[in-house]
Amino acid sequence: MPTISQEYKTALRSVSVDLNNDVSLLIDIPDALCERDKVKFTVHTKTTLSVFQKPEFSVPRQHEDFIWLHDTLVETEEYAGLIIPPAPPKPDFESPREKMHKLGEGEATMTKEEYTKMKQELEAEYLAVFKKTVQVHEVFLQRLSSHPVLSKDRNFQIFLEYDQDLSVRRKMPRRCLVVSSRTWLKSADEVLISGVKEVDDFFEQEKTFLLDYSTKIKDSTTKAERMTRAHKNVADDYIHVAAILNSISAEENTALKKHLDKFSDMFEKLRKVEGRVASDQELKLTELLRYYTRDIQAAKDLLYRRARALDKARLKSKDVAQAEDNQRQCMQKFEKLSESGKKELTSFKGRRVVAFRKNLVEMAELEIKHAKNSVSLLQGCIETLKNC
């Protein structure tokens, strides 16, 4: 059962901006355990706020607890004008599990060395999935803690502090009515948002932008995933080639032996580099795109809520004077929502741009580093072989 050690943590880079800056409330996930299919996160909080009972504490949480927290926030009417940070996706070990299955099937045809290396690769992939899921859960909490309004949410505080099993609390009645099917709501929202006549230029622009951008970014995420997977396949092939070259070299008794040895060794070294290139690309590019696909969706959700509020406000205007008060209230709500919404969307864009910049720069730097490393390995090998 892999756990996360501190060294891995330092290697993690959040796809969002560095969030954990405010000393009054610092949150991180220093540790996580994987038990069968369930991941148990250790949520660690350090705070100077008096609302908490202790200055420092840790609680175990499951993925479902995070979802509960997210849904609760979404359904809180006061937060309608805020972009609620997207819920972390469910831990998905499907890909390494499938690979493990294939490895088991192919065991008979591989050499012991090959098998060991493939197993190493598999473990690395498993660990990478694990790292990623910890990261997205951590970022979710840090987004909340750095938000001026959401960080004060009572449910959030309960989530951080409550040292009993949260699943009991999760079943408690919620403050607002829950919407049953998300997909149903989504399509209704799409209709609403495209139909509603927009009065505000800012929101008109945002609507156009977000609708288009969300499709494009979803597509880019998929294509980036495929690209990364192909890269991983190439790295895996290097393992097989290295292993077979090694076997040939072992039985070789001509002048070729040294060449085959070095050649096999080179493939082994290169596959490590290629593997890192693939995983860096995954983390910096694919993860970035994945995250912002979700975040764009959260921004869209804000627009939907606003559209619904506007619709509600307008509807009431058809009724008799008795509903005037009601209407005024709705209109007020709508305006407040719009105001906060505008702020949120603007800061969201800023956040997005900064995150993209950071990750693209880091990815370019890493790619250059890896390529230079490969070049020096290869040139060293060629030199040796030419003098052989």
Partner 1 sequence: MAAERDPPPPGDAGQARFGEAEDGEDLFVVLCSPASLPAEDISANSNGPKLVDSFLDDDPDDLFAEATEEVSLDSPEREPILSDGPSPAITPIMAPRIDSTLFDQALEEEEDNGDTFDICISVSDPEKVGDGMNAYMAYKVTTKTSLSVFSQNELSVRRRFSDFLGLHSKLASKYMHSGYIVPPAPEKSIVGMTKVKVGKEDSSSTEFVEKRRSALERYLMRTVKHPVMLKDPNVLQFLESSELPRAVSTQALSGAGILRMVNKAADAVNKMTIKMNESDAWFEEKQQQFENLDAQFRKLHASVESLVCHRKELSLNTASFAKSAAMLGNSEDHTALSRALSQLAEMEEKMEQLHMDQAYADFYLFAELLGDYVRLLTAVKGVFDQRMKTWSKWQDAQLMLQRKREAEAKLQYANKPDKLQQAKDEIKEWEGKVQQGERDFEQISKTIRKELGRFEKERVKDFKSVIIKYLESLVQTQQQLIKYWEAFLPEAKAIA
Contact residues toward partner 1 (CB under 8 A) are 205, 209, 212-213, 216-217, 219-220, 222-224, 226-227, 229-231, 233-234, 237-238, 240-241, 244-245, 247-248, 251, 253-256, 259-260, 263, 266, 270, 349, 352-353, 356-357, 360-361, 364-365, 367-368, 371-372, 374-375, 378-379, 381-382, 385-386, 388
Residue 315 or 361: the one with the smaller Cβ distance to partner 1 is: 361
Pairing of strands 56-62, 38-47: antiparallel
Contact 212, 303 (CB under 8 A): no
Q: Where are the alpha helices (DSSP H) in the chain?
A: 6-11, 63-75, 94-106, 112-145, 154-161, 166-170, 182-195, 201-251, 256-281, 287-316, 324-386
Residue 233 or 329: the one with the smaller Cβ distance to partner 1 is: 233
Minimum CB separation from partner 1 for residue 351, in Å?
11
Residue 233 or 326: the one with the smaller Cβ distance to partner 1 is: 233
Minimum CB separation from partner 1 for residue 92, in Å?
20
Q: What are phi and psi of 25, to 5 degrees?
A: -150, 105
Minimum CB separation from partner 1 for residue 342, in Å?
15
Residue 123 or 237: the one with the smaller Cβ distance to partner 1 is: 237
3-class DSSP state of 60: strand
Minimum CB separation from partner 1 for residue 291, in Å?
14
Contact 79, 54 (CB under 8 A): no
3-class DSSP state of 33: strand
In order of 218, 235, 292, 315, the CA distances from 135 in angstroms are 20, 25, 14, 43
Minimum CB separation from partner 1 for residue 200, in Å?
16
Residue 317 or 379: the one with the smaller Cβ distance to partner 1 is: 379
DSSP code at position 147: S
Q: Report how far residue 128's alpha carbon sits from residue 16's, in angstroms, rounded to the nearest whole number.
A: 18
Buried b (16+ CB within 10 A) or exposed e, 325-357: eebeebbebbeebbebbbebbeebeebbeebee
Minimum CB separation from partner 1 for residue 358, in Å?
9
Residue 152 or 226: the one with the smaller Cβ distance to partner 1 is: 226
Residue 319 or 383: the one with the smaller Cβ distance to partner 1 is: 383
Minimum CB separation from partner 1 for residue 272, in Å?
14
